[in-house]
Each structure stands twice: as C-alpha cells, then as structure tokens.
Structure 1
Amino acid sequence: MTTDWKSITLTLGHSPDPDDAFMFYAMKENKIDQHGYKFEHILQDIQTLNERATRGELNITAVSIHALAYVLDKYALLPSGASMGDGYGPMFVTPSTEGLADDADDEARKQWLLGKKIAIPGLMTSAFLAAQLYLGKGFDYVVVPFDEIFDAVKSGKADVGLIIHEGQLTFANEGLKLVLDLGEWWKRTRGGIPLPLGGNVVRKDFPPEVRHELSDILRESIAYGLKHRHPAVVHSMEHARGMDVPLADKFIGMYVNDFTLDYGDLGRKAVHQFLKEAADAGLIPTIEHLEFVE
C-alpha cells in the first residue's frame, strides 16, 4: 500500500533561532506553494533535535553536521539549509584572559584552554566536535544548554564558555572576552574552507520523488526569505534573544546565504573534510557514504 504523504502532517524540526526562523518564514506564513504538503513546525534546541534524529522521530529536521555520523542510516542530507561558519563560528569566551597574551598563537591558546573547565552546548553539536579537533579528546568540560552558557561562565560553574548562535555577537555585552573563534581557526588552517555547522535532513523512507519535492519546498522557502529580507527578519525577531533588528539581520546574514541555498562544491568538500578528520581522530564513526538529496 502506497502512503499518501500529502494526507498527513509532516514534522519539521528546527531551532528557535533567528536564522532558522528566517529560513522557514515562507513556509510558516504560507508565502510559497507547498504543493499540498502540510507541516508541523517543532522548535527545539539543536542538541535535542540531534538526539531525536538518532531515533528517527522527525520527518525533516535540522541537525548538527556532527550528528550526521549517527543518523545517516535514517536520514539523507538536503542540499539546502546549511549553516556554514565562513571564517567565524563557535567561540571560546571567558571573563578573564589572565595569563594569555593578546598575541598568543594557536598552540598557546590551546594550552591555556586545557587548564580550564569549558561549558559546551551539547555532546552532538558541531561546536563540540570542532573543539575536540582543536583541543583533543581530553579537555575538561561540562554540558550546559546553549542559552545558559553565559550564566554558567559568569557564575563560576565553568571558566570558559563555548558559545553558538547569537552569543557570537553578544558576548562582549556580557562582559566576556574572546579566546578563540573556531570558525576563524578552521578556515585559516584548512586552506580557506568554511566550518560546516548545521544542515537539514529528510527521512530516507520517503520515496525519492517525495524527497525531491520536499527539498524544493525548503529551498524555495530560503530563497523567498532572501528575496523578501525585511519581513523575514521581522518575523525572526521573536527568537532574537538580546538582539535588535540590525544585529539580528547581521546574524542571519552570517548563517543564511548562498551556502544555505546550496552547499555547492566547496560546502560539500567542507562537510566531507570535517567528518573525515573527526573519524580519523577517533571522535566519530567512519562514514562510508554521505548521501545528499540531489
């Protein structure tokens, strides 16, 4: 018996962040033709979405690129929806950089960080995987929800915070100082390729033609937001924690761009290299085949 996928409501998971809200604005507000498909938008933090993806719970979902290593038996990566850190990305921040010279090199910063307890936003986040590639497996960390990392650092629960999302633009307002930007480090030391952070995946049990239709809908939603930027940004402000419209617009521009419309050859190369380095370092299982919905 063939399933009529248009007769059921499909679950669509994404983060409650301005960049994801921007991406899915056109779908949420019915600004584009969704070809008879119905979607339930489920907003949860990325670590929760990663965990749900390992169980195959959602039809379509945002995931960390790190999490792909654990969900590719159930999901294929969509060609649109990428969050790329193109010279920027997750950051180590701290109240005090005492003992660390302003002109310290990568190795000195690494050794300084290895003496600290670091608050991370989740074990399956790309931020944590990038941190492990930089620091090695054995650093001291505590898992803290991403939106509580500032408080964890300022209260002394952790010495350093590994921040993601809008915290990359607001940490100075919290009285914190930058130790290292992992996206900048990655691009500088990997021949100019961006750091792949997140993407959208679709369940493999959809027939190929349905996967293609869903892929087209998500891409059209992103394209609509980019074409109708102001209303899409205004729509995203509900999730713009601590940001005014210009700052939210800047943040959205960092993570919704040409890479988001399609990874392209460079984006695909970045994903493969990130996951290969992590597998070679024994941080994730080896990935034999990374399937994109073409």
Structure 2
Amino acid sequence: MVIAHSPDADDIFMYYAIKFGWVSMKDRAFDNIALDIETLNTEALKGTYDISAISFGLYPHIRNDYALLRTAVSFGQGYGPKLIRKKETVLKKRFKVALSGKYTTNALLFRVAYPEAKIVYMNFLEIEQAVLDGVVDAGVLIHESILGYDDSLEVERELWDVWCELAGSELPLPLGGMAIRRSLPITSAIAYENLLTKAVQIARDHKEALSKMLIERSLVRIDAPTLEKYLELYANDESISLNETQYKAIEKLFEIGYEHGFYDQKIDPKDFMIPLEYTELRNS
C-alpha cells in the first residue's frame, strides 16, 4: 500500500511514525511517495494513489472517487499563505502572479479575491525567486516559505484575511487533508484511517524525538527551530482528527467555491467521510 504525501515538513512528520515502524498493521506493508501538493492534486484527479494528501480546495472535484479522511489535516488559524511582492512595488489590477497550483486552496481563494490577475502556476519552491527576478509581479508563498523570505519582499495581503472576508468569520482556514479511494473495501479503509490517525497521534506524543530523527536524517528542508515553529502551525494537536469547527470551515470553503463557480454543487464534507460506525454495526 502506497501513501502519497508532500515532501513538506508537516506531511513528513505526520507520516513517518509509519515509516519508522512505530505504527504498523498486521499483514500489510506500507510504502510512501513524496510529491509536491499540486502534483498530488493532479494525480488524485487521475485516481493514481489509494491514499493521498490533497488540497481541500480540490476535494469536490474527486468526491465520487475518494472519501475524505479525518486525520493528518492542516489548517491555518490567524495565518496561512501570503501574497508577497517587492517592497515599494504597487500592484496593478491585472498584475502577474505565481501560484503553487490550480487546485490548491490558496489558488481558489486568490482567484475569488483577484479575478483579473494574470496567473502563472509553478512549483512553490520557485515562487520567491520568480518574484525577485521580476518574472512575476507577485506570488503566493505556502508551506515553510511563509516563515522566511528575502528582505526585499513584503506581504501585500495575507490569504487568512481573504478567507475571513469570504467566510464572514474567523473559522480555521482549511488547507490540506488526506483522501482515500472509495473502491477499497470499507473494512480496509476504516483500518487505514485508524492507522493514520494513530500515526499522527504518536507523532505528536513523541514530537521531540521524531523531530530530532527527521533533522538528523535530512528528511526535512528546514532547521530545528523552524521545524518546531512550523509543526505548531500545520501539524499540531488539531491535526489528529477533525473537530466540529474544522468541519464547518471545510463546508464553508466548499460553499465559497460553489458560489463562485468552481464546483458543480455544494457539498457537506460529513457526507463524504468513511462511515467508521460500519465496523460496530457489522459486528453487532
């Protein structure tokens, strides 16, 4: 069984309790593949992987083929992607901007807020340099890049502020989650979700030891202090299992996408989760 995730520190942290053998499943071996988030989104549209990290902004497009998992989720609360530009630069109405992918949550919010901007999609690791080189007028930074960028750049707008305006509240900003193929046997899907949930829980319980191992083995791109800060943003205790507030936030994101023509219908995320109660009903 292959689990596809991004190479970003939060995904690495939430998966590697499985990779290191701290969590396992009888008679089932797991492997992983790390791809940038937009590649994962694109592969999910093709149905490539049984279990995959995705942007929440993608999910309505794959709802018929994948169920949402409740674990390994990343939200922003007062923070998130940043629209940056060179200092002393004034952005015109149709400014050229670099985004990390068409199906990312940040792209959905940006396109709603800036419908006339000229968008270029590129790997998120290339966005800062593209702004510095003048290839684009601005760019949306995501993942670890929000924690540090060149001194000649500054924030034009926080996408957290865009989210709050569109949502009409300060619900947490849904960024990334996990999806599982619907064609898998339901008992297997439940077992996989339980395993992944346990992996994230154990990662959090042993954060210091796991973080040290990730740093020592060069499995993350950032240093120890930055990793500590980053994990508290995107792989924190709220990442273990979705809560009611997070459900409401995902539902609001899907509502915004539907109202602005990005989705063909408005959906309730709770209708697209694995029915965990199936095991109890089956054994009753």
Partner SS state of residue 114, structure 1: coil
- DSSP 3-state at the match of 1:150: helix
Which moved further from structure 2: 66-75 or 174-183? 174-183
Q: Structure 1 vs Structure 2: percent identity of aligned residues?
A: 27
CA 1:77–1:167 in structure 2 vs 1: closer, same or farther (change >3 Å)?
Answer: same
Q: Which residue of 2 aligns with 1:144?
A: 122
Task: State whether structure 2 residue 23 is matched by structure 1 residue 32.
Answer: yes
- 2:144 is aligned with 1:166: yes
State the TM-score, normalizing by the size of structure 2.
0.90
What are the equivalent positions in structure 2 for 1:159-238 lying under 5 Å apart?
159-171=137-149, 173=150, 175-187=152-164, 190-237=168-215, 238=218
What SS does structure 1 have at the residue aligned with 2:264?
coil
Mapped to 2, the partners of 1:222 and 1:36 lie a distance apart of 21
TM-score, normalised relative to structure 1: 0.87
Q: Does 1:49 align with 2:40?
A: yes
Matching of residues 99-110 of structure 1 within 5 Å: 99=90
Say whether residues 1:278 and 2:269 are aligned partners.
no
Q: Distance in 2 between matches of 1:226 and 1:286?
A: 36
Quote the Cα distance in structure 2 between the aligned partners of 1:289 and 1:164: 26
Q: Which amino acid aligns with 1:256?
A: A
What corresponds to 1:265 in structure 2? 244
Shift of the alpha carbon at 1:226? 0.5
Question: Partner amino acid for 2:75?
Answer: M
Q: Deviation string for 1:135-180 (max 9, x for gaps)?
A: 23x3211111111001111111101011110011012x45321111
Cα distance in 1, alignment partners of residues 154 and 220 from structure 2: 22
Residue 80 (structure 1) aligned to one of 64, 71, 79: 71
Higher mean displacement: 279-288 or 232-241: 232-241
Aligned-partner Cα distance in 1 for 2:256–2:182: 26
Contact 2:87 2:152 survives alignment (8 Å): no
**Structure 2 Cα separation of the partners of residues 85 and 39 of structure 1:** 29
Aligned to 1:105: none
Does structure 1 conserve the Cα–Cα contact (< 8 Å) formed by 2:60 and 2:267? no
Count the aligned residue pairs: 270
Contact (CA 8 Å) 1:65, 1:126: kept in 2 or not? yes
- Which residue identity does 1:245 align to in structure 2? A
Correspondence for 2:102: 123
- CA distance in structure 2 between the aligned counterparts of 1:174 and 1:73, rounded to whole angstroms: 45
Shift of 1:259: 2.6
Query: Taking structure 1 as reference, are residues 169 and 156 closer, same or farther at Cα in structure 2, changes over 3 Å only?
Result: same
The answer as to 2:133 corresponding to 1:155 is yes
Contact 1:25 1:235 in 2 (8 A): no
What SS does the corresponding residue of 1:24 show, helix, strand or coil?
Answer: helix
Deviations 1:16-41 (A, max 9, x none): 01111100110010012323321120
Partner of 2:53: 62
Distance 2:255 2:170 in 1: 17
Tell me the SS of whatever aligns to 1:37: coil
- Aligned CA-pair RMSD: 1.7
